[in-house]
Amino acid sequence: MGGRPKVLVVDFGGQYTHLIARRCRELGVYSEIVEPGSLEEALGSGSVRGLILSGGPRSVLEQGSPRVSERILRSPPVPILGICYGHQLIAHMLGGRVVSGLAREYGRVKVRVVERDKLLKDIPSELEVWMSHGDSVAEPPKNMKATSLSENGVITSMSDGEKIYTTQFHPEVSHTQHGKTVLRNFLQEICRIPPTWKPRNMIDEMVENVRRTVGGERVICAVSGGVDSMTTAYILSKAVGSNLYCIFVDTGLLRKGEGKRVEEAARRAGIKNLIKVDARERFLTRLRGVKDPEEKRRIIGEEFIKIFEETAARIPGARWLAQGTIYPDRVESGRAGKGSALIKSHHNVGALPERLGLKLIEPLRDLYKDEVREVAEELGVPEEIIWRHPFPGPGLAVRIIGEVTEEKLRICREASAIVEEEITKSGLQREIWQAFAVVGDDKWVGVTGDARTLGYIVTVRLVESVDGMTADWPRISHHILERISRRITNEVPGVVMVTYAITPKPPATIEPC
Ligand code: XMP
């Protein structure tokens, strides 16, 4: 991201770090997340115009809690905004007093402005903000003044009036009134960064970057029908034209109509070389008799890589692999090693470039999902793909409980298509994170006419979520559920009963396997 002016958000492990970074981008300022340990190096890039120290779960009073170098705080190279943990850290490191348990404030709290500095410009004298803290700043450092107080007398913001500003509350959270103005004040009034960042304006730069990087060499891109891989293919197509080879593997575990959608999208982008591999039989054969979810995932991952390798070997002179990695993928996987428990081994083909001896190119690596969608819109990616729900790498196999058979695949695919159609018709498609059907081996007795038949049970799973980490089931109208149920039992042979999954995540995961 070269010389574009940017703000760095230092990650102390708080839940709102990504939200802060996204808010800055919404306000037209490019932002990046850095670990405290890499801050000095990141500051060296020259284009950093502001620093935000975010929230975090630790107490600054604890030994070993994360810090930044004191030098940065004593003579800030750029303006600094400390939020929550950042507010306390600044107080603690610059000689103020932080105490534990003075007043614990969680949720909405009323705040009064007592000294109006640049950060609080255009903010009313009283407002409601979102708080989540146990420790508090009891005394600001010598050169800083409290600028607002909570109804409990807690210092809710302070500043030196020049380069360091802090808030105990979370301006990035939508429940904080005028939070966006606070962040805008920091970025524009204090850091003086022009609000010029727009994802769609980056297309030319991304295309140029790809062109410069790969030169005249051939590039392979795996497309799946999802928005990230398809947008990557569109950018590559613009950059290298007929040197792009897209591979689409039909695993037989895909959603209804996926092949056609991919073909149509590739045609629109003018992609000349789309290699379709029909691997339905291969996957089904390898999955025969396999019931264990982890084993299914392992087999699918392995088989996919094998097929991809065989196909790539047929493209002579290919040197590059383009992947649709996006910003949260990188930042999350950077952190995944540090204590996050493995719940399911998500099949992502991380090992591919090394196995194939290809160099990796990831044009979307700095973008958030909503920014990818904006870029995709500008590039003319079909609407249907832009707004498609996330779909797991192992596909319908993780929506089929027990063995994957042809019959269960047909039921899962057809029933899922009905669920998606009805959710789209009801205008809920964009509000709902995922909508699909699940099938297992349990049967229910049905009556059709005079005959008694044993039929499958289909479970409808709808979830609301922001990032897939937690989820809830939407309380949608019974009429929609009724339509879904009626259509599935009428239109999908072999199904007798439809149920609705009403357990959030946690305790249940989104996918059944
Ligand atoms: P769970 O089932 O773990 O799913 O609650 C959370 C989110 O991740 C998706 N998911 C996957 N995505 N490969 C992927 O790329 C996988 O193996 C995989 N398994 C689950 C799931 O659809 C949901 O959005």
463 lines ligand 1 (CB under 6 A): no
Nearest CA to ligand 1 atom 16: 346
| Domain co-membership, 97 together with 225 | no
**What residue owns the CA closest to ligand 1's atom 12?**
392
Examine the pLDDT at 126 and tell me if it is beyond 90. Answer: yes
From the CB of 226, is ligand 1 less than 6 Å away? no
Domain co-membership, 240 together with 174: no
How many angstroms separate the alpha carbon of residue 400 from the centre of ligand 1?
Answer: 14
Whether residues 36 and 158 share a domain: the answer is yes
The model's confidence at residue 60, banded by pLDDT at 50, 70 and 90, is: very high
Is 390 close to ligand 1, i.e. is its CB under 6 Å away?
yes
From the list 370, 501, 339, 442, the residue with the least C-alpha distance to 23 is 370
Residues serving a catalytic function are 84, 170, 172
Same domain membership, residue 465 and residue 380: no
In a shared domain, residues 100 and 138: yes
Q: Determine the atom of ligand 1 nearest the C-alpha atom of 391.
A: 22
Which of 146, 168, 190 terminates a domain? The answer is 190
* CATH number where 141 lies: 3.40.50.880
pLDDT exceeds cutoff 50 at 339:
no
Percent residues over pLDDT 70 in the chain: 96
Nearest CA to ligand 1 atom 11: 392
Give me the chain's average pLDDT, please: 94
Query: Is 308 inside a domain boundary?
Result: yes
| In a domain? residue 92 | yes
Residue 77 preceded by cis peptide, ω within 30: no
pLDDT in tens, 329-338: 887 655 533 3
pLDDT attached to residue 2: 52
Nearest CA owner, ligand 1 atom 17: 346
Separation CA 196–CA 25 (nearest Å): 10
Confirm if 496 and 446 have CB atoms less than 8 A apart: yes
Which residue is closest in CA terms to ligand 1's atom 23?
468
The answer to the question of residue 34 being in a domain is yes
DSSP 325-348: --HHHHHHHHHTTTTPPPSS----
Q: Is 394 in the pocket of ligand 1 (CB under 6 A)?
A: yes
444 shares a domain with 336: no
Decide: 94 and 144 in contact? Cβ < 8 Å: yes
pLDDT computed for residue 431 by the predictor = 94
pLDDT higher than 90, residue 93? yes
> CB count, 10 Å around CB of 441?
13
Domain-located, residue 221: yes
Q: Residue 433: which CATH number?
A: 3.30.300.10
DSSP string of 41-97?
HHHTTS-EEEEEE---SS-TTSTT-----HHHHHS-SS-EEEETHHHHHHHHHTT-E
- Please, are residues 194 and 293 in contact by the beta-carbon 8 Å criterion? no
**In a 3-state reduction of DSSP, which class is residue 217?**
coil
Asked if residue 399 is part of any domain, the answer here is no
- Residue that has been written with the tokens 């009073």 in this structure: 61
The answer to whether residues 230 and 369 belong to one domain is yes
Give the integer Cα–Cα distance in Å for 190 and 185.
Answer: 6
pLDDT confidence tier of residue 423, bands split at 50, 70 and 90: very high
Domain holding 53, by residue range, is 6-190
d(CA 139, ligand 1 centre) in Å: 46
Q: Are 227 and 386 in contact (CB under 8 A)?
A: yes
Residue 465 CB–ligand 1 contact under 6 Å: no
pTM: 0.86
Residue 506: Cβ-neighbour burial (10 angstroms; 0-12, 13-18, 19+): exposed
Last residue of a domain, one of 146, 164, 190: 190
- Residue 258, C-beta contacts closer than 8 angstroms, at least 6 positions apart: 224, 225, 250
CB of residue 14 inside a 6 A radius of ligand 1: no
Ligand 1 atom having least distance to the Cα of 297? 17
- For residue 468 and ligand 1, the question of a CB distance below 6 A is answered with yes
Specify the residue with its C-alpha closest to ligand 1, atom 10. 392
How is residue 277 annotated by DSSP? E
* 151 and 100 belong to one structural domain: yes
Instruction: Give the domain CATH number at 302.
Output: 3.40.50.620
Number of domains the chain is built from:
3
Last residue of a domain, one of 126, 157, 190: 190
Distance CA 430, CA 231 (A): 19
Q: Return the bridge partners of 321, or none.
A: 220, 360
Q: Ligand 1 centroid to 328 CA: how many Å?
A: 14
Q: Check whether residue 349 and residue 207 sit in a common domain.
A: yes
Contacts of 165 (CB under 8 A, 6+ apart): 79, 80, 81, 82, 117, 118, 119, 157, 158, 159, 186, 190
pLDDT 10s digits, 348-383: 556 778 888 999 999 999 999 999 999 999 999 999
Same domain, yes or no: 171 and 112: yes
Residues 260 and 221 in one domain: yes
Instruction: Give tens-digit pLDDT for 425-467.
Output: 999 999 999 999 999 999 999 997 888 999 999 999 999 998 8
137 and 149 Cβ atoms separated by less than 8 Å: no
What residue's CA is closest to ligand 1, atom 9?
392
Is 33 inside any structural domain? yes
Atom number of ligand 1 nearest to Cα 347? 17
Q: Ligand 1 centre and the CA of 409: distance in Å?
A: 18
Q: Is residue 398 part of a domain?
A: no
Q: Is residue 392 part of a domain?
A: no
Looking at the structure, do residues 94 and 176 belong to the same domain, yes or no?
yes
Closest ligand 1 atom to 505 CA: 5
In angstroms, what is the span from residue 397 Cα to ligand 1's centroid? 12
Question: Quick check: CB of 329 below 6 Å from ligand 1?
Answer: no
Instruction: Give distance in angstroms: CA of 392 to centre of ligand 1.
Output: 5
Lookup: tokens for 371: 């920014």
pLDDT band at 150 (very low <50, low <70, confident <90, very high): very high
Taking 60 as the threshold, does the pLDDT of residue 347 lie above it? no
